[in-house]
Structure 1
Amino acid sequence: MASQSNQRKLLKGAFKIDASRLGMWIIPLVLMTATWIHAAENRPLSLDMKTDIYSAYVWRGMVLDRHAVAQPSAIATMNMQNAGSFSAKVWMNWDLSPGSSHFKVTSADDGVNVLNFVPSYTKAFGPVDISVGNTWYTFPDTGKPKKPSNTDEFFLTMKYKNTFATPSLSVYYDYRSVRQSFQEDNPLKDLYARIALDKIIPLSKSFSVGGTVLLGCGTSHYNAIRYCSPGGSLVDYQTSVYMSYACTDTFSIGTTLVYTGLFGGDLGLDLDAVSPDEIFWGGVNLRWLL
């Protein structure tokens, strides 16, 4: 019995090491592959790499980690002109406070505890951009937003581009952990939606400031699973301001300050079942365009 227990511990430890190594190597691999394809075939391929270092990890109004995290990502995009564009994104949450489980919902182990893969397609219809895609959420080291299991989510986003500001609407359908199979029962009960308004103000050729306000809402079954609060309602709100400075044509640095929280009351969630989670958080942003 003791040997079997030790074997299980060794296998669990090996999985955690492999998960962290996987996260560490994915983005460099994407970068090298995209660079090779771009140089070899001169295709209209671009790569957008970011590293955000924040004081907390917040997901749809819920504070999953009140400690410092790094969130690197890479987006490779193939622009097909009038046919639209295809993108592949890798995003991860990297725990910078190993061993601490205080005020933390994700794994207390160091390394990558959330790893997302997001293929998508975008097409412009005049001033309106429409994007469809799928997010594969994986949780190495048993990190989680609600359940210790991987999940999948289909999404649709519409943006209206204009000179004043950019309004957008995004709708998400979790068809795995919220709803156990695609279109089981009524999918309209399993939706999360966000409306947002973004504004960027260029102050010089290199320096710009901006801000975002957004509201999130969920339908009945989604709220029951994610927020322990059955019934459709407003869910979360967020307002943020940021600054960005372009050091070169391809590299920029910036900073972001965010305030988020969850709605309660007649139009919101049952805050007795879920923490209000109001918090100021922010950090620095590094971006490299290829």
Structure 2
Amino acid sequence: MKKWSVLSTILASLILGFSGNLWGADATFDVTANSAYVWRGITFNDGAVLQPSLDVTKGGFGMNVWGNYDLDDYDDTLDNGQFSEIDLTLSYGFAIKSVDMSVGYIEYLFPNASPALPAGREVFVTCGVEPIKGLSLGLAVYYEIDEVEDIYASISAAYGYSISEALSVEIGVSAGYVGKDYSVVGEAGMNDICASLSASYAVNEALGVTAGIYYADTLDEDVLPEQDVTTYGGIGASYTF
């Protein structure tokens, strides 16, 4: 009951910010269709999924609701045609000189899990720098504060290039470390490596479309066993109000 109370509260806040310009906030709705759902190197679904998202920001404050809707089932662990996950995020972003920082809280809900799964709750801090134009370097640390009480951390690098005023491409890579209690098999260490290549096209000031191909694999099979999906792709569209 508690998790649905939190969900209702944050959804209501998002709707207020989304309509009527009560905050003068910016709102972006995004929906992505992916050929699989992979998170931190772990395969959650090896079939098609839809992942809608609503993001509302005002100043440095942000709220986000994200969902994973399964179009295919997966090894009898979930059914198609329903949301297997809903994530709620509250964040605050700020800058310290040339370093962009953010802190926040994420609640992971699994509304249709059978047997029922408890909500996951993380606090996080991220930092990023742009040493040269187009190149972004980042560090993110997440700590699960409820069920697991351990960390996941990642380092990342991305390079973006504008081909034209409307079209841009980006290549990125990241590597993750997981604590013992957060590991799939109970071993701490380097967990996953991910790479991406994506293209974005701005149809107009509000509407954009994206397409990407992604690679995710284990860095140490003693920490993260081999997964069903290593390569997948997706297309998406976003609209800013």
| Residue pair 1:114, 1:143 contacting (<8 A) in 2 also | no
SS in 2 for 1:142: coil
Q: Summarize the Cα distance change of 1:245–1:164 in structure 2 as closer, same or farther, 3 Å threshold.
A: closer
Contact 2:14 2:63 in 1 (8 A): no
- 1:55 aligned partner: 35
Could you tell me how far apart the structure 2 residues matched to 1:31 and 1:206 are? 29
Give the C-alpha shift of residue 133 in structure 1.
0.4
- Deviation of the 1:78 alpha carbon: 0.6
SS in 2 for 1:34: helix
Equivalent runs, 1:141-152 vs 2, <5 Å: 141-142=112-113, 148-152=117-121
Work out the CA distance in 2 between the residues paired with 1:159 and 1:270.
27
**Whole-angstrom distance in 2 between the partners of 1:221 and 1:36:** 41
Letter in 2 for 1:151: G
Find the aligned partners of 2:201 and 2:34 in 1 and give their Cα distance. 18
Q: Percent identity?
A: 26
For the 8 Å contact 1:56–1:281, the answer to whether it is kept is yes
CA contact (8 A) 1:262 1:277 kept: no
For 1:269, the equivalent position in structure 2 comes to 222
What's the CA shift string for 1:100-149, capped at 9, x where partnerless?
Answer: 343x64x21422110011001111112211100000000011179xx822
Aligned residue identity for 1:285: G
Query: CA distance change for structure 1 residues 30 and 243 in 2, over 3 Å: closer, same or farther?
Result: farther
Q: 2:178 aligns with which of 199, 203, 218?
A: 218
CA RMSD of aligned residues (A): 2.5
* From 49, 55, 59, the counterpart of 1:75: 55
For these two proteins, the number of residue pairs brought into alignment is 235
Q: Partner amino acid for 2:159?
A: K
- Which has more strand, going by share of residues? 2
- Structure 2 residue aligned with 1:185: none
Larger Rg over CA atoms: 1
Tell me what 2:234 maps to.
283
Q: Are 1:160 and 2:129 matched, yes or no?
A: yes
Q: Distance in 1 between matches of 2:155 and 2:114?
A: 27
Runs of 4+ in 1 over 6 A off after TM superposition: none
1:228 to 2:185 alignment: yes
1:209 aligns to what? Answer: 169
Question: TM-score normalised to the size of structure 1?
Answer: 0.74
Match of 1:245 in 2: 201
Structure 1 unmatched ranges of 5 or more: 1-14, 80-84, 180-189
2:140 alignment partner AA = S
Query: Residues of 2 paired with 1:35 and 1:234: CA distance?
Result: 40
